[in-house]
Chains A and B, each alone.
Chain A
Amino acid sequence: MSARFTVGDRVRVRQAYPPGHVRTPYYVRGKEGVVSRMIAEHPNPEERAYGRDGLPPVPVYRILFRQNDLWQDYQGPKGDTTELDIQEHWLGPLEEEGG
């Protein structure tokens, strides 16, 4: 799959809050994580939700987030994580931020 990101890349989830059928949960918007696995390209569910074919397919990545990066008041050990499958257009590289 021709993909923008690869395993190990640090990414940030876009901080956008559109309506519609979105499969990027609210709790990861604007958060920083790392690509842990490449998932196959898939027709876009945001489009398929309205009866369209969702093509061309969108690359999907497994992103690993540290719980401490997701929740300000996380109660558990610092090694704890949450992992999700996110579409490419919801991700941006961290180096764009110049930091």
Chain B
Amino acid sequence: MSETHSHDDDWPYPHPQQPDIEDGPLTDFMIMTDAVAELLIDKEIFSADDMRRTLEAIDSKSPAEGARMVAHAWLDPDFKARMLEDVNAAAEEISIDAGTIPILAVENTKDIHNVIVCTLCSCYPKYLLGLPPDWYKSRAYRSRLVREPRAVLKEFGTEIPDDVEVRVHDSTAELRYMILPMRPKGTEDMDEEALGGLVTRDCMIGVTVIDRD
């Protein structure tokens, strides 16, 4: 087992001196990342504390807040209308920080099923839903979803009836997108927390549905 350096206590950088076990073998890009971070800290462009806080913020985001917004919208039609108008402002009403990049929610209905992609890079509402899954950023998803959405949805186990429009949203500009899924039947007696538990990340991307009935 290796020993830590003697100047451990005043080590100004936020990361451990040894590579994290989860990082895998050391690569030039890992070295470059730490070198860039350290230079920027040396130059006081940001501090080690800033770095720590930002990492905590990244870790704090998951689909749960998006799920809570959806559940709240299902229970409160006025909130839903405001959410469809401006997700970021509506989020603030219920103490959720969705960040400053504008997010547009598109609503699934009995006539339209929506699904999101960024064909040009990997834009995703990460300040609300957390970091995206690998497949969302993959070549296969980015290439095929706009061209054969129903085939891609089928790979996720989702089949949309032919009389329902499938609408693909490609995030090409400033807006990020999320799906407001349809509330499933048989949930009339559920409270907000229980409803939120039904809402998955994948149904807020649009590759799955909870149910369409």
Direct contact of A and B (CB under 8 A): yes
Task: Give the B-binding residues of A (Cβ under 8 A).
Answer: 23-25, 27, 39, 42, 45, 60, 64, 70-71, 74-77, 79-87
Complex formed: what's the CA distance from A80 to B145 in Å? 12
Are B173 and A87 in contact, with the CB atoms below 8 A? yes
Are B166 and A60 in contact, with the CB atoms below 8 A? no
Complex formed: what's the CA distance from A23 to B121 in Å? 10
5 contacts between A and B (CB under 8 A): A27-B119, A60-B173, A64-B167, A79-B165, A83-B168
Name the contact of A75 in the complex, choosing from B151, B168, B171 (C-beta under 8 A): B151
B190 at the A/B interface (Cβ < 8 Å)? Answer: no
The SS class assigned to the B binding surface is loop
Are B170 and A83 in contact, with the CB atoms below 8 A? yes
Beta-carbon nearest neighbor of A24 in chain B: B172
Name the contact of B174 in the complex, choosing from A60, A64, A76, A84 (C-beta under 8 A): A60
Q: How many pairs of A and B residues are in contact by the CB < 8 Å rule?
A: 67
Complex formed: what's the CA distance from A81 to B170 in Å? 11
Beta-carbon nearest neighbor of A79 in chain B: B165
Are B173 and A85 in contact, with the CB atoms below 8 A? yes
Residues of chain A contacted by B169 (CB below 8 angstroms): 82-84
| Closest CB in chain A relative to B17 CB, distance in Å | 35
Are B147 and A71 in contact, with the CB atoms below 8 A? yes
Beta-carbon nearest neighbor of B106 in chain A: A83
B146 at the A/B interface (Cβ < 8 Å)? Answer: yes
Are A42 and B148 in contact, with the CB atoms below 8 A? no
B56 at the A/B interface (Cβ < 8 Å)? Answer: no
Complex formed: what's the CA distance from A60 to B172 in Å? 10
| Closest CB in chain A relative to B59 CB, distance in Å | 29
Interface string of B133-160 (1 = CB under 8 A from A): 0000000000000111111000000000
Are B174 and A82 in contact, with the CB atoms below 8 A? no
